[in-house]
């Protein structure tokens, strides 16, 4: 149970769990270790799990028909990651989710999540709240990407998630911010001179 303490704490911020409900939850979870550069989700395969990051860092991205990568999400400890559209609809994924560092994940399969809802209905509330929060975050990110300058996006990232600059390669940060690696280098060099 100790290995699952962080995920229980994460969930307990939204719903109260009895000891029995915690045990039921843990019975549906599995700990998975992934190596750097390993994929946990790939396009054309149905995403079978949602993953909670216990340790590590992952990127979620799309590859266009022209082969260009667009990073749409970065995940670190105490965050959830997946191709949620694939997971929720049980349709083939369109995104890659790749470990940037050796990572330890706690995974909940789609089948186990459905069983969990039957056994402890309050988990439906938890995951509904997660989806709502994700929807808000996606909208904010979309508005942020079209209304802010590249420099403003960089500054906001530094203020909100400064650890990202140490944890993710520059090309990943650049893609996440919607700019080229060269332009990101230019911004960073200008900031360093100030």
In the prediction, which pLDDT does 35 show? Answer: 98
- Whether residue 120 sits in one domain with residue 31: yes
Sheet strands side by side (includes 96-99): 39-41, 96-99, 58-63, 69-75
Q: Is residue 122 very low, low, confident or very high in pLDDT (cuts 50, 70, 90)? A: very high
Task: Please give the residue range of the domain that contains residue 117.
Answer: 2-147
- Whether residue 131 sits in one domain with residue 113: yes
- Whether residue 164 sits in one domain with residue 68: no
Q: Residue 162 pLDDT more than 70? A: yes
3-18 pLDDT, tens digit per residue, is: 999 999 999 999 999 9
pLDDT > 70 fraction of the chain, expressed in percent and rounded: 99
20-76 pLDDT, tens digit per residue, is: 999 999 999 999 999 999 999 999 999 999 999 999 999 999 999 999 999 999 999
Q: Is 146 left (phi over 0), alpha (psi -120 to 50) or beta?
A: alpha
What is d(CA 168, CA 56) in angstroms, rounded to the nearest whole number?
Answer: 11
- Whether residue 124 sits in one domain with residue 108: yes
Q: Which CATH number belongs to the domain containing residue 9 in this structure? A: 2.60.120.10
Q: What is the DSSP letter of 156?
A: H
- Whether residue 114 sits in one domain with residue 178: no
**Count of the separate structural domains present in the chain:** 2
- Whether residue 188 sits in one domain with residue 128: no
- Whether residue 114 sits in one domain with residue 30: yes
- Whether residue 162 sits in one domain with residue 111: no
Structure tokens at 136: 């808000």
Structure tokens at 147: 């209304």
What is d(CA 5, CA 19) in angstroms, rounded to the nearest whole number?
Answer: 12
């Amino acid at each position: 149970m100790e290995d699952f303490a962080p995920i229980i704490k994460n969930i307990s911020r939204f719903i109260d769990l009895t000891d029995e409900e915690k045990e039921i939850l843990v019975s549906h979870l599995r700990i998975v270790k992934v190596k750097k550069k390993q994929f946990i989700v790939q396009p054309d395969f149905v995403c079978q799990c949602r993953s909670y990051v216990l340790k590590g860092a992952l990127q979620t991205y799309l590859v266009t028909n022209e082969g260009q990568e667009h990073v749409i999400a970065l995940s670190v400890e105490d965050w959830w990651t997946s191709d949620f559209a694939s997971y929720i609809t049980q349709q083939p994924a369109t995104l890659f989710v790749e470990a940037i560092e050796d990572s330890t994940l706690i995974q909940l399969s789609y089948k186990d999540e459905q069983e969990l809802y039957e056994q402890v209905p309050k988990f439906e509330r938890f995951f509904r709240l997660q989806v709502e929060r994700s929807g808000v975050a996606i909208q904010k990110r979309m508005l942020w990407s079209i209304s802010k300058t590249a420099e403003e996006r960089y500054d906001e990232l530094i203020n909100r998630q400064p650890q990202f600059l140490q944890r993710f390669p520059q090309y990943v940060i650049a893609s996440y911010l919607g700019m080229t690696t060269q332009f990101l280098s230019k911004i960073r060099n200008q900031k360093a001179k100030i």
